[in-house]
Amino acid sequence: MKTTVLNPVQQHLLTMFAFDGSEERLKEVKEVLTQYFSQKLDKCLDQLWDSGALNQEKLDELRTKHLRTELQK
């Protein structure tokens, strides 16, 4: 059986939840993480827009692309 090594973030979350693993705490952590990564994404997209790597033309092109791949059986 292969062992899984936890990264420092996973270890910290496990330690934190050892003290209070309630559903309410889980909801709060999910909200904080969602907000955090949403802000990082917004900042990255703003940088792409400002640099010209992303613009309205490219967004329009993406809107019409079929990006899903079929699952292999």
Band (pLDDT 50/70/90 cuts) for residue 68 is confident
Question: What tens digit of pLDDT does each residue of 3-44 get?
Answer: 889 999 999 888 887 888 788 988 998 999 999 999 999 999
- Pair of tokens at residue 21: 């693993």
How many residues in the chain? Answer: 73
- Pair of tokens at residue 57: 């033309």
Q: What is the residue type of 69?
A: T
Domain ranges within the chain, ordered by starting residue: 22-63
pTM here? 0.65
